[in-house]
Amino acid sequence: MRESYKREGVYKEIQIPISANIALEGELNIPMNSNRIIIFSHGSGSSRKSLRNQMVATRLHQQKIGN
């Protein structure tokens, strides 16, 4: 797990265990002074690293919403 503390908040690569051999991987980005978190998932053919999904995450971060 990679974790970094930035001036604007906390970023972590995370794994959420679903069963003994299955885990969901993701990124948790919490801006400073955030009081909300949104979790969004991606369907087949989509990735958290796509430009569109990165844009959504950036907009949420700008509004002090963790995602």
Closest among 21, 9, 20 to 67, alpha carbons compared: 9
The number of residues making up the chain comes to 67
Task: Place 17 in a pLDDT band, splitting at 50, 70 and 90.
Answer: very high
Query: Which of 41, 43, 38 has the alpha carbon at shortest distance from 58?
Result: 38
Q: Where are the domains of the chain?
A: 3-66
CA distance 66 to 27: 10
Tell me: the pLDDT tens digits for 26-66? 888 899 889 899 887 777 677 777 888 888 888 998 899 99
pLDDT of residue 5: 46
40: DSSP letter: -
The pLDDT value recorded for residue 7 is 53
Q: Which spans in 1-67 are helix H? A: 51-62
Q: 1: pLDDT confidence band, cut at 50, 70 and 90?
A: very low
